[in-house]
C-alpha cells in the first residue's frame, strides 16, 4: 500500500440537504425522555452555552459546512409549553433572548439566529414545523395566506430547512404539496421536508422515513425505504429525495439524505441513567461519529438523488432481526416495551423487526454469499446518475448481539470508476464493463489521502477481488481509537 499525494474527496460543500437535528440531544439534556422536558429545553442556552449537556451548535466541527442544524420539536413553542403555538414559527423571547432583543420583528429575530449559526460554520439553520396553523394565532385569512407569510419570513431571514412533521394536517398530501409549491415560489432557498404520507413523496423536496429506535433501526429503516420507494417516482420538476434519518451508511450507499440525531455526548444521561435513545450497548451509536463524516464526504462525490421506480430492485428474501430482553424492569427495555406497535413482534421476552435482505437503485442487486453459519448482512447499493456506484453491508441483531456477517459480496458497477464502499466484508468483488483495470486507489472517506492498493487486490481483466481486511484497514484509519465506526472508503479504478 503506497501513500499518494492525492485526495479523492472534492473540496466543496456537500449539495445534499443533510442535517443534524436536536431531538435526541434534547432528550439527553433533560435526562427523562419525556416530550414536555424536551420541548422546553430547546433554545439559545442549549445551542450556545458550551458546558455539557448544552453547546449543540458546536457539534460536528469537521463537517458543519456540509450540514444544516435543525432545531427540533417546539423551538417555536413558548417556554410554558403551550402547544397551541405549534406551527407558529415564532421565536419565543424566553427561549431566544438574544435573537429577540429590542422587540424586533420575528423576521429579524430569525435572521439574527440564522447568522449566528452560519457564523459557526454550519451550512444553515432549520427547524421542525408542525403540520398545522397555530391554534393560538388568529391572523385571519386562509391557510394559504398563513403559510405564505411564514415562507416570506423564512426567505427574508435566510432560514434554510423546514422539517414538516406531525400535526392536524400531517397526513394530508394536498397540504404538503401546497407547502412545497409555495416554498418554490416564495422561498427558493428553503428545503421543505415531508413525512407521514407516502403520496407526498413525488412532490417533495425531501421525504423522511420517520422515527425508529436505535436497537432495530437497520431492519426497520430498510423496510420503510422499501415501502416508500415501491411504485414511486419523483414528479417532473420535484426533487423527490428520501431522508433515512440516522443511518448515514444507508444514506451514502443508497443515494438518500440523512437527518442525523446521534451526538458526541456518549455514555449515560446526565442523571446517570442509561440513554434509552442511544444506549451504550449493541451498536453504541454515539461512538460512531466518523460514520457521519464519511457519509457526508461521499455525498460531495455522489449527492442524494430522487426516487425512480424504474430503477428500483428489492429482494424477495426477508431477513428478521430480534432483540431479547433481560428484564422488563430495566429502564431501557421497559421504555421499548411501551412502544411495541413499532415492531413486528413485541412481548416481555423481546421484540423483532424484518426487512428485505437487499435493496438496489439503478444497479443490479449485489450478490451475497452467506457466511459459514448461513448468516448474511442487509445490503444496499446504488448507481448514481453521475456514474458513480456505492454499496453498504449493514449489521444484524441476534438476541443481544450486533454484528455484520462477513460475506463475499459481488457488485456489478458497469462503467463506474469511483465506488463508495461501506461496512464489513469477507471480500468485495467488483465487476466492471471496462476491458481492463490497471490499478486501484483507495481512501478512507474521513481521511485526506488516497493509497495505491493495486498490489493488495486481485485484478483479472475487468474483475477485482478486494479483501475485506483491506477495506477495514483503510476504511477506519482516520478515526480515533475511541470511535468504533464501521469502514467507509472511496475506490478509484485506474483504467489501462
For 114-170, write each residue's pLDDT tens digit.
Answer: 999 999 999 999 999 999 999 999 888 899 999 999 999 999 999 999 999 999 999
pLDDT of residue 68 exceeding 90, the answer is: yes
Decide if 354 is inside a domain. Answer: no
Residue 339 has pLDDT above 80, yes or no: no
* φ/ψ of residue 28, rounded to 5: -55, -50
pLDDT tens per residue across span 223-236:
999 999 999 999 99
Q: What's the mean pLDDT when you consider all of the chain? A: 96
Q: Which pLDDT belongs to residue 99?
A: 98
Whole-number pLDDT of residue 145: 96
Classify 395 as helix, strand or coil: coil
Q: Tell me: cis bond preceding 18? Omega within 30 of 0 counts.
A: no
- With residue 383 as reference, give the H or E element that holds it: strand 378-383
- The residue length of the chain stands at 496
User: CA 60, CA 53: separation in Å to the nearest integer?
Assistant: 15
**417: helix, coil or strand?**
coil
- Summarised one tens digit per residue, pLDDT across range 245-279 is 999 999 999 999 999 999 999 999 999 999 989 99
412 vs 141, higher pLDDT: 412
pTM of the model: 0.97
Give, as one character, the DSSP assignment of residue 246: S
- Return the residue matching grid coordinates 393560538: 136
Q: Which grid cell sits at 485?
A: 465506526
Task: Copy the grid coordinates of residue 217.
Answer: 433501526
pLDDT at residue 32, as a whole number: 81
pLDDT, residue 454, reads: 97
pLDDT digits (tens, 9 = 90+) for 23-64: 999 999 999 878 899 999 999 999 999 999 999 999 999 999
Residue 266 lies in a domain: yes
Contact 321, 352 (CB under 8 A): yes
> What is the reported pLDDT for 33?
76
Q: Give the H/E segment covering residue 259.
A: strand 259-260
Q: What are phi and psi of 333, to 5 degrees?
A: -75, -30
The pLDDT of residue 119: 98
Residue 270 lies in a domain: yes
Q: What is the DSSP string of 455-490?
A: GGSEEETTEEEEEHHHHHHHHTTTS-TT--PPPEEE
- Decide: 115 and 107 in contact? Cβ < 8 Å: no
Which DSSP helix (H) or strand (E) runs through 69? strand 68-71
pLDDT value, residue 164: 98
* Main-chain phi, psi angles of 191, to 5 degrees: -95, 130
Q: Find the mean pLDDT for residues 96-120.
A: 98
Confidence tier at 484 by pLDDT (50, 70, 90): very high
Q: CA-to-CA distance for 86 and 67, rounded, in angstroms?
A: 25
* Pair 76, 88: CB distance under 8 Å: yes
In the chain, how many H helices and how many E strands?
A: 12, 27
Share of the chain above pLDDT 70, in %: 100
**Max Cα distance, the chain (Å):** 71
Look at residue 72 in the predicted model and tell me its pLDDT: 97
Q: Identify the residue with better confidence: 492 or 140.
A: 492
Q: Residue range 317-330: average pLDDT?
A: 91
Angle at 237 between CA 234 and CA 242, to 5 degrees: 35
Please report how the helices 173-186 and 143-157 are oriented relative to each other, as an axis angle in degrees rounded to 10.
40
Q: How confident is the model at residue 66 (pLDDT cuts 50, 70, 90)?
A: very high
Q: Is residue 317 part of a domain?
A: no
The pair phi, psi for residue 89, each rounded to 5°, is 55, 35
Per-residue pLDDT, 336: 80
Which pairing describes strands 19-21 and 259-260: parallel, antiparallel, or unpaired? parallel
**Rounded-to-integer distance, Cα 409 and Cα 196, Å:** 34
Is 461 a domain residue?
no
H-helix or E-strand spanning residue 369: strand 367-369
The per-residue pLDDT for 329 is 80
pLDDT in tens, 369-384: 999 999 999 999 999 9
Residue 256 Cα distances to 161, 208, 390, angstroms: 17, 10, 12
Domain, as residue range, for 25:
13-311
| 356 lies in some domain | no
What is the β-pairing status of strands 458-460 and 463-467? antiparallel
Q: What b-and-e string marks burial along 422-452, b requiring 16 or more CB atoms within 10 Å of the CB? A: bbbbbbbbbebebeebeebbbbbbbbeebbb
Percent of the chain scoring above 90 in pLDDT: 92
Q: How many domains does the chain contain in total?
A: 1
CB burial readout 216-249, b (16+ within 10 A) else e: bbbbbbbbbbbebbeebbbeeebbbbbbbbbbbb
pLDDT at 388 over 90: yes
Predicted confidence (pLDDT) per residue in 419-461, tens digit: 999 999 999 999 999 989 999 999 999 999 999 999 999 999 9
Instruction: Tell me if 152 is assigned to some domain.
Output: yes
SS3 458: strand
Q: Is the pLDDT of residue 332 over 90?
A: no
The domain that holds 71 is classified in CATH as 3.20.20
DSSP assignment, residue 125? E
Q: Give the per-residue pLDDT at 77.
A: 96
Amino acid at each position: 500500500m503506497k501513500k499518494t499525494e492525492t485526495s479523492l474527496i472534492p473540496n466543496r460543500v456537500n449539495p445534499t440537504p443533510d442535517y443534524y437535528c436536536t431531538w435526541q440531544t434534547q432528550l439527553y439534556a433533560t435526562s427523562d425522555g419525556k416530550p414536555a422536558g424536551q420541548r422546553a429545553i430547546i433554545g439559545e442556552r442549549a445551542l450556545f452555552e458550551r458546558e455539557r449537556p448544552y453547546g449543540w451548535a458546536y457539534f460536528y466541527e469537521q463537517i458543519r459546512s456540509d450540514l444544516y442544524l435543525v432545531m427540533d420539536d417546539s423551538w417555536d413553542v413558548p417556554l410554558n409549553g403551550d402547544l397551541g403555538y405549534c406551527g407558529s414559527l415564532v421565536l419565543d423571547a424566553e427561549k431566544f433572548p438574544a435573537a429577540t432583543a429590542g422587540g424586533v420583528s420575528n423576521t429579524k429575530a430569525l435572521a439574527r439566529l440564522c447568522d449566528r449559526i452560519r457564523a459557526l460554520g454550519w451550512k444553515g439553520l432549520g427547524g421542525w414545523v408542525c403540520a398545522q396553523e397555530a391554534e393560538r394565532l388568529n391572523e385571519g385569512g386562509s391557510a394559504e395566506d398563513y403559510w405564505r407569510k411564514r415562507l416570506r419570513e423564512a426567505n427574508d431571514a435566510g432560514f434554510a430547512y423546514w422539517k414538516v412533521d406531525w400535526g392536524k394536517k400531517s397526513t394530508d398530501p394536498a397540504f404538503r404539496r401546497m407547502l412545497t409549491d409555495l416554498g418554490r415560489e416564495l422561498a427558493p432557498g428553503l428545503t421543505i421536508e415531508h413525512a407521514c404520507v407516502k403520496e407526498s413523496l413525488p412532490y417533495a423536496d425531501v421525504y423522511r422515513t420517520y422515527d425508529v429506535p436505535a436497537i432495530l433501526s437497520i431492519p426497520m429503516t430498510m423496510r420503510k425505504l422499501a415501502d416508500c420507494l415501491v411504485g414511486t417516482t419523483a414528479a417532473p420538476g420535484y426533487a423527490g429525495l428520501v431522508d433515512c434519518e440516522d443511518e448515514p451508511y444507508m444514506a451514502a450507499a443508497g443515494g438518500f439524505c440523512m437527518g442525523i440525531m446521534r451526538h458526541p455526548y456518549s455514555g449515560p444521561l446526565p442523571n446517570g441513567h442509561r440513554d434509552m435513545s442511544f444506549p451504550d450497548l449493541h451498536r453504541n451509536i454515539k461512538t460512531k461519529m466518523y460514520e457521519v463524516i464519511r457519509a457526508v464526504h461521499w455525498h460531495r462525490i455522489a449527492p442524494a438523488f430522487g426516487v425512480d421506480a424504474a430503477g428500483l430492485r428489492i429482494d424477495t428474501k426477508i431477513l428478521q432481526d430480534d432483540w431479547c430482553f433481560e428484564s422488563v424492569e430495566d429502564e431501557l427495555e421497559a421504555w421499548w416495551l411501551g412502544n411495541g406497535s413499532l415492531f413486528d413482534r413485541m412481548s416481555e421476552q423481546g421484540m423483532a423487526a424484518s426487512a428485505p435482505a437487499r435493496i438496489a437503485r439503478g444497479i443490479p442487486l449485489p450478490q451475497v454469499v452467506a457466511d459459514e453459519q448461513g448468516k448474511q448482512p442487509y445490503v444496499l447499493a446504488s448507481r448514481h446518475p453521475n456514474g458513480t456506484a456505492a454499496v453498504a453491508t449493514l449489521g444484524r441483531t441476534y438476541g443481544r448481539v450486533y454484528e455484520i456477517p462477513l460475506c463475499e459480496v459481488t457488485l456489478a458497477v458497469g462503467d463506474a470508476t469511483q465506488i463508495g464502499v461501506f461496512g464489513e466484508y469477507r471480500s468485495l468483488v467488483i465487476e466492471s464493463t471496462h476491458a481492463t483495470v490497471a490499478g486501484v486507489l483507495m481512501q478512507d472517506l474521513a481521511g485526506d489521502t488516497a493509497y495505491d492498493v493495486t498490489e493488495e487486490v486481485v485484478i483479472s481483466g475487468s474483475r477485482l477481488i478486494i479483501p475485506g481486511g483491506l477495506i477495514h484497514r483503510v476504511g477506519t484509519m482516520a478515526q480515533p481509537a475511541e470511535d468504533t465506526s464501521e469502514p467507509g472508503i472511496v475506490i478509484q479504478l485506474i483504467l489501462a
